[in-house]
Structure 1
Amino acid sequence: MSALNTLAGRLHHAKPEDLPGIAEDAAISLGATATTLYLVDYSQVDLLAQVPANRPAPDPIPIDGTVAGRAYSTGVPTRIADLQTGGDQLWLPVVDGAERVGVFAVTLSAAAAADPAVQANLQTLTTLLGQILAARHGYGDALERTRRRLPMQLAAEIIWTQLPPLTFATDRATVAAILEPAYDVGGDAFDYAANGDTLHVALFDAVGHGIEASSLTALALSAYRNARRCGLDLSDTYRSIDKWVNAQHPGSFVTAVLAELDTPNGTYRKISAGHPGELLLRNGRCIAELPAPTAMPLGLGNLVDPIPGITEITLEPGDQLLLYTDGVVEARTDAGDLFGVERLTDFVTKALADQLPAAETMRRLVHAILAHQHERLQDDATAVLVEWNGAPVPAATDAPPPSLISNRSLPAPDALTVPSH
């Protein structure tokens, strides 16, 4: 209770940079001797220390190959013995819901290390810390500055300011996303929202680069949220975004996936606006690439029949859908070797076979893409993994099995020629 009192009594007037000191005082009241808060950088390469102003920051800790990184990657608290003091060092994952924020390093005395209640209380404190960090980070820039290993370009600043957290989960569905180059992204973005039984998911890729592309993407993303919050269905959402893009950026366009997942029964419906088709993964392998495109890119829909095609499938529990922009599969080596859909599929299926968390699968995927192109992406690379965990829908015993994929209101093929970016 004293730790909660410490938090509650000092949070009302605390600035973001005050949080590490407040958290340490609360941890000490629970039996810790020292703490350090580490936040993950935007590229998810290092854990960077956020320390009180009067304390020098320790060196960054790489996520790969370290104890701290293992706690961050797996989401499992890690405990190692401190041979000098006889106590323990705890590395506690800091999360906000399913979003990975960083790790909380806690030093324990020998007496505290021997008390199981101490670690349990510290884990509870760390859970609260994750939620507090998420709620307070917008009141100042200290936490943002800590997370940046490199200067953020303005185009990327525009995009990151609009994005939801990279990871979200309910008892029925999980969403995990990646976005690179983190400090210089321009035209890519994603969004999701859980409203009742529906999980809305969208992925955008604007033509062009830099400020022009990020401004175009920001408009499409805002128009998408406006349509969704007004209660429009998928078709009307497509038409609304298309109208705004055409009106404000005539001649430009945004490719996109606009999707809805019915979380009780696993029905997935989507419009592919000039965008690559999602990969459907089941039991550790890719079983289908969904039809695409089913409509013109946003901003060009006025050139053809405005009724977009909708693809509908019924998922099975444990199915994953991988949405991605063309920058993922078009990443290439100096010799011109594309990353490609086959390599993308192989990577994701192997990661899933290793039973990695969805967020960690995506983190490793983006670093594999960067390594393939020697850390120099020619285009933004964004991907979203959606997993459905719901209960299966009983099938009628006297009816034939339903078709996996159905298309409705699909425009004529010659109307779906997608302009090159």
Structure 2
Amino acid sequence: MRWLPAFYVAAVLALEPVTPVQWPVSFLLIALPLVAAYAHGPVVVAAITVFAIVFEGVLAGTPCCAGRSVGYLWDRHYVANYVCTFLVGILGTILAVHRIRRERTLATVRSVAETAQRVLLRPVPRSLDRISVETLYVSAAAEARIGGDLYEAVPTAYGVRLLVGDVRGKGLIAVETAATMLGAFREAAHDEPDLIGVAHRMERSMSRHASQLPGGEAAERFVTAVFAEIPDREPVIRIVNCGHPPPLLIGRGRVRELHPTDPSPPINLGALVGDHYHVDAEPFRPGDQVLLYTDGVTETRDRTGAFYPLTERVRAWAGLPPRELLDRLHADLLAYSDNHLDDDIAALAACRAAGAAHT
């Protein structure tokens, strides 16, 4: 973009010698200040405006191969051309100032959003008690960095405890709800002896948070979530699924969905549908891997409207370690959607290292 004014002048110079006398191609230079305003600051735009006026005079007063003669320099049409270029230059300078201010504002907003994300979704250690953990977060909006999707991994006395959730709704209230959810989980994961206790603790925290929301927001603000626990000395993984997409268990060349045998209600809907939470246990041996994700993954569509076939795609990557698995998933989602993701995406992959579990 910075070279666009030069290319524009070169195009005018290329047209000028091959056009008839009655075609004053130099009039095209009126737009040069606006072209410069796309990529340059106000000082450069002002200088280019002066250059455009001088150059128009040079073209108007110089004979060329088409038979033009000196005498157009102060012709009224060319004088009007100089005036128009000057006025457009003023407009281009103002636009350049406005563009730079917006770019600075956008940079500040992005910096604040990235800082908020680091606080809200802080980096997860890659190794937790012999459990390798990797995360992925993708915002559907180009200018956004945070939203209602969340993840966390906490090493506790009971094993590594994992969370992936999705807050209903968008905007600042969703971000605030996600922050409340994560804060409550980081405390409950250490205090509660089992996942059912964690889920009840989360329900109480979210109910208190929702009661402070205005109007009907309280009844509509809920979170789908998956809580998982990987004990260090047991070859199992325990899962409480609260209305969330089922995790994928990857191991020994197989990939299968871990559907709950008794579904648990989303967080903050316990008062409406009952707060009965159920734990499922599955074998989780050394080398096995679990993938937790939000519905932004499975609801990604291609050009025909077909949903992303997550289980089928992951089968081809079953032997990859967590980081490579998530990187491949990210690239494949972008390719499948033709770089048009409609929803935020959060995913967490955890793998038990060899020799990590003991019966």
The alpha carbon displacement at 1:196 in A equals 4.2
Q: 1:394 and 1:333 mapped to 2: Cα distance? A: 44
The C-alpha deviation readout for 1:135-194, integer Å capped at 9, x for no partner, is xxxxxxxxxxxxx99963866654432223255125732111101118433110100112
Q: 1:225 and 1:247 mapped to 2: Cα distance? A: 17
**Amino acid corresponding to residue 382 of structure 1 in structure 2:** A
What SS does structure 1 have at the residue aligned with 2:179? helix
Confirm whether residue 226 of structure 1 aligns to residue 187 of structure 2: yes
Q: Which residue of 2 aligns with 1:366?
A: 330
Q: Which residue of 2 aligns with 1:344?
A: 310
Bigger fraction of residues in helix: 2
Q: 1:161 to 1:375 in 2, by over 3 A?
A: farther
Unaligned runs of 5+ in 1: 1-147, 396-421
Overall identity of the aligned pairs, in %: 29
Asked whether the equivalents of residues 224 and 267 of structure 2 are also in contact (C-alpha less than 8 Å), the reply is yes
The C-alpha deviation readout for 1:278-327, integer Å capped at 9, x for no partner, is 11112122144332772111010122332311111221221111111111
Q: Which residue of 1 aligns with 2:343?
A: 379
The C-alpha deviation readout for 1:358-403, integer Å capped at 9, x for no partner, is 21221221121122222222111111111112548799xxxxxxxx
Q: 1:359 to 1:292 in 2, by over 3 A?
A: farther
For 1:142-157, what aligned pairs fall within 5 Å after superposition? Answer: 152=110
**Amino acid corresponding to residue 306 of structure 1 in structure 2:** D
The C-alpha deviation readout for 1:325-360, integer Å capped at 9, x for no partner, is 111000112431211xxx32233332333xx43212
Q: 2:137 and 2:261 mapped to 1: Cα distance? A: 22
**TM-score of the pair, normalised by structure 1:** 0.52
The C-alpha deviation readout for 1:196-254, integer Å capped at 9, x for no partner, is 46111111100011212111111111111121233453112211211222222221100
**Amino acid corresponding to residue 384 of structure 1 in structure 2:** L
Asked whether the equivalents of residues 232 and 358 of structure 2 are also in contact (C-alpha less than 8 Å), the reply is no
Asked whether the equivalents of residues 204 and 255 of structure 1 are also in contact (C-alpha less than 8 Å), the reply is yes
Q: Which residue of 2 aligns with 1:314?
A: 283
Unaligned runs of 5+ in 2: 1-105, 211-217
Q: 2:107 and 2:351 mapped to 1: Cα distance? A: 31
Q: 1:357 to 1:225 in 2, by over 3 A?
A: same
**Amino acid corresponding to residue 153 of structure 2 in structure 1:** Y
Asked whether the equivalents of residues 322 and 386 of structure 1 are also in contact (C-alpha less than 8 Å), the reply is yes
Paired residues in the alignment total 243
Q: 1:199 to 1:217 in 2, by over 3 A?
A: same
Q: 1:189 to 1:160 in 2, by over 3 A?
A: farther
Q: Give the counterpart of 1:285 among 254, 257, 260.
A: 254
Q: Which residue of 2 aligns with 1:165?
A: 123
For 1:185-334, what aligned pairs fall within 5 Å after superposition? Answer: 185-196=146-157, 198-249=159-210, 250-251=218-219, 252-291=221-260, 294-334=263-303
Q: 1:156 and 1:394 mapped to 2: Cα distance? A: 40
The C-alpha deviation readout for 1:66-114, integer Å capped at 9, x for no partner, is xxxxxxxxxxxxxxxxxxxxxxxxxxxxxxxxxxxxxxxxxxxxxxxxx
Q: Which structure would you say has the larger Rg?
A: 2
What SS does structure 2 have at the residue aligned with 1:351? coil
The two structures, once aligned, show a CA RMSD in angstroms of: 2.8
**Amino acid corresponding to residue 345 of structure 1 in structure 2:** T
**TM-score of the pair, normalised by structure 2:** 0.61
For 1:31-42, what aligned pairs fall within 5 Å after superposition? Answer: none
Q: 1:254 to 1:292 in 2, by over 3 A?
A: farther
